[in-house]
Chains A and B, each alone.
Chain A
Amino acid sequence: MRVKREHFRSPKDLPVVEYVTPGSPLCAGCGGLTTLRLMHKVLGENVVVVNAAGCMTLMAVYPFTPLKSSWLYTTMGSAAAGAQGVRDALDVLIERGKLDAADDLQVLVLAGDGSTYDMGLSATSGAIHRGLNFWYLCYDNQAYGNTGFQMSAASPLGSRTATSHSGAVQRRKDIFELWRAQRPPYVATVSSHDAVDLAEKVERARGLNGPKLFLSLAVCPTGWGFDPELSDEIAKLAIETGVWPLKEAVDGAVRHTYVPNRFRPVEEYLRPQHRFAHLFEPQRDEELLTRIQQNVDDYWAPVLAEPVANA
């Protein structure tokens, strides 16, 4: 079941114009790049991307940039602070007549889960606390992908990474809730699979002044171990199994923007990915598979119990 859409009804409604040119050295089939490209389309051209160290840092390798907008690489731990510096500078320069108001830009932090969940959390929490008016796109591929896929605080239970050979045993941080706890005006999860939902959310958030998180499940053929052709399929399975709920929180009030009519078993999402292969071979890890399914069920139970289920 889908919430009513106000701005975009089908992929055909999305802007045709591109602000991210091809020619970047990112992996074929990168879900994070799809998300950035789609988000940028809806944001429009006047954007400055403030980047934290991660896969996307290598979008722009001297002397090239794929962005038709602006870019500032900062550090892994302080992209949100860099966004604050840029936002404040634009504001004060316009206020003081040193910059034409027509030259104003929207500030977008672009960070992976390693920066978002781990090293950059203090800087981000500070920016939320200060009510900074900025967009934040986290391309969450659930590990330190750029260094070769090591475990991060976003790595899901059971995921094999280069530093968790038998699978992550921790519960991943719920960064959506960590953000929401500070009551920014907008927090959303998005997926490259549902471009219309993503576009709709950007449009809904546009008028809100303050921190706006877009947490995207960045399907990662290289790190997760599947053929790039399946990128969209895996992203879709994450949604249809309930592993990746599509939702938003406006001023803290959560609603799900899509609820599968019939949840597919989590196994269907796990099985095609090499990072979960050890759950199936050489023998099925029944206990862990049950736990993973149970975690998903436990997440959705109260959501589905709501009387007007997010209509």
Chain B
Amino acid sequence: MSRQLLTGNAAAAWGARLADVDYIPAFPITPQTEIIETLAAWSQAGELPGRFVTFDGEHSMLTAAGAAAAAGARTFTATSSQGLLFGMESLYTISGWRVPLVLVNVSRGLSAPITLGPDHNDVLAARDAGFVQIHAETCQEVLDSILMGYRIAEDRRVSVPVLVNLDGFYLSFTREPVDVPDEAAVREFLPPFDFEHLGFRASRPIAQGVAVLEGATYSHFRYQMHRAIQNAAAVHAEATVEFSRLFGRSYAAIEQYRVEDADTVLVMAGSFAAKGKAAVDQWRADGRRVGLLRLRVVRPFPAAELAAALSGRRAVGVIDQNLSPGVGGIFCQELAAALYSVPDRPPVLRSFVTGLGGKDISQSEFDHVLSVLDAAQSGDPVTDTELLMTAAEWQQVQGRLASARRPVEDNAPLPTDSDDVRAAVRAEFEDARGGVS
């Protein structure tokens, strides 16, 4: 084992290297590019026995990755943002083949408007693609999750691909100390891929990805993907025990931070959870009983663990770094569903969205979240997702909006400027109803 200062991208490259992958199809995209550049350099230096090949785009790259895995090669690939969306068809294709591989996604906000900062809308667009999905908080966790990913994906109780997510910039370009395990220990944790049931060979022809034109059989295959990903929960737990024994680090599906006696709990995912923990520490120092749950394994969704961990709490605030337009924060929706049948579910559940396109989150915003949760009473109607933004940030935004207008229009009102269009529409509706009755 060696301890090195590594970026999240370099940690991802180390994960692939230690997994002794056979094949790395690649395509550059910010902020993932450093991963493939690192692997390319190792490959050219003869330090990587697997084959590194650059492609013409992510759709091709991901198809090749899946095809190589279908042929029996241990395969690693990485992408980000638009690349993940461009390859989306291939994601569904290769999970349908039930082939194991590890795909790293470096989160970045989606276009339009095109941007570079991170948020989770890219990776959550793939949440139904039939991949196990693990979100890392630290560079160490990126490396470790890739090793665990192969072990989970290659287990025949699972046999679907694993996606490991890290946040662009906040992890991808940030160096922090990482324990790089010894190869021998990794070999013990991750033996060579036994692809007996897959693979194309002259001595045993098979047809993979065959069309299914009958609904019941198709339902069976799709349902198997669901069951396979559900199985990944137990396989992940087993892998965690072994990983902890060999490397001394342990990962649960959800990380519980200072929740023992908490009456109020924040739920977050990814690298911003570190900031959430800092906020929790500060509130704890002030005598508040607040904790944090970090979603690490997103698929299979750890509904039972979340329900158990949140049962009996007074208030839960979900801080989503994503936005499903027309619904709100995605994790809040999924958590609400998980809590539905819990008898003593928290009476207060609130949804907050921040960090889109890499927008930072400050202690003031955390404090605001806590004050909203404190003020909320049991039985209050659940309000809309709240976008967290400080007044100073909003002022800056308004300055930029003003710069984009032609000077002559500067003071002209726009037709639909409103503090709350929905409220206005509702008022009109109420008026109309009043008029009728």
Residues of A within 8 A of B (CB): 45-46, 48, 50, 57-58, 60-63, 65, 67-75, 77-86, 88-93, 96, 98-100, 102-105, 122-123, 125-126, 129-130
Contact = CB atoms under 8 A, between A and B. Distances in A.
14 contacts: A58-B211, A72-B97, A74-B67, A78-B60, A84-B64, A88-B64, A89-B22, A89-B68, A100-B203, A103-B203, A104-B202, A105-B200, A123-B60, A125-B56
Interface of B: 22-23, 25, 49-51, 53, 55-57, 59-61, 63-73, 75, 89-90, 93, 97, 192, 199-203, 205-214, 217
B403 to A, nearest CB: 38
A84 B67 contact: yes
Contacts of B55: 81, 84, 126
Nearest to A123: B60
B203 A71 contact: no
Q: Which 3 A-B pairs have the closest CB atoms?
A: A85-B67, A126-B56, A81-B60
A102 B204 CA distance: 11
Nearest to B93: A75
A69 B202 CA distance: 8
Given A72-B97, A92-B23, A105-B201, 12 more contacts: A62-B211, A62-B214, A73-B208, A74-B93, A78-B64, A78-B90, A81-B60, A82-B63, A82-B67, A83-B67, A86-B67, A104-B202
Contacts, number: 167
A130 B200 CA distance: 22
B39 to A, nearest CB: 14
B209 A72 contact: yes
Contacts of A70: 200, 205-208
A123 B59 contact: yes
B63 A99 contact: no
A89 B23 contact: yes
Contacts of A99: 72, 199, 201
A93 B210 contact: no
B63 A85 contact: yes
B59 A77 contact: yes
A13 to B, nearest CB: 25
Contacts of A100: 201, 203
B63 A92 contact: no
A116 B25 CA distance: 22
A83 B25 CA distance: 13
Given A61-B213, A104-B202, A126-B56, A85 B89 contact: no
A122 B22 CA distance: 25
B358 to A, nearest CB: 30
Nearest to B61: A81
Given A88-B68, A93-B72, A99-B201, A60 B63 contact: no
Given A60-B207, A62-B217, A69-B205, A90 B60 contact: no
Contact of B67 (A62, A89, A125): A89
Contacts of A88: 23, 25, 51, 53, 64, 68, 73
Given A62-B217, A74-B93, A84-B53, A92 B73 contact: yes
Contacts of A105: 200-202
B63 A74 contact: yes
Contacts of B209: 71-74
A90 B200 contact: yes
Contacts of B68: 85-86, 88-89
Given A81-B61, A84-B53, A62 B210 contact: yes
Contacts of A73: 208-211
B60 A126 contact: yes
A99 B22 CA distance: 12
A62 B75 CA distance: 27
Nearest to A73: B209
B71 A89 contact: yes
Contacts of B75: 85, 89
A46 B210 contact: no
B212 A96 contact: no
Nearest to A72: B208
A71 B22 contact: no
A184 to B, nearest CB: 15
A99 B49 CA distance: 15
Nearest to B20: A96
Contact of B56 (A45, A91, A123): A123
A65 B203 CA distance: 17
Given A72-B209, A81-B64, A105-B202, A92 B51 contact: yes
A247 to B, nearest CB: 27
Nearest to B67: A85
A243 B55 CA distance: 36
B200 A75 contact: no
A72 B67 contact: yes
B159 to A, nearest CB: 16
Contact of B201 (A79, A81, A83, A103): A103
Contacts of B217: 62
B98 to A, nearest CB: 13
Contacts of B57: 122-123, 126
A73 B59 CA distance: 15
A85 B207 contact: no
Contacts of B213: 58, 61-62
Nearest to A106: B202
A175 B208 CA distance: 29
B137 to A, nearest CB: 32
A96 B67 contact: no
Contacts of B206: 70-71
A102 B211 contact: no
B212 A72 contact: no
B181 to A, nearest CB: 22
A48 B207 CA distance: 9
A85 B66 contact: yes
B49 to A, nearest CB: 6
Contacts of B60: 78, 80-81, 84, 122-123, 126
Contacts of A89: 22-23, 67-69, 71-73, 75
Given A78-B63, A78-B90, A89-B67, A71 B202 contact: no
Nearest to B27: A126
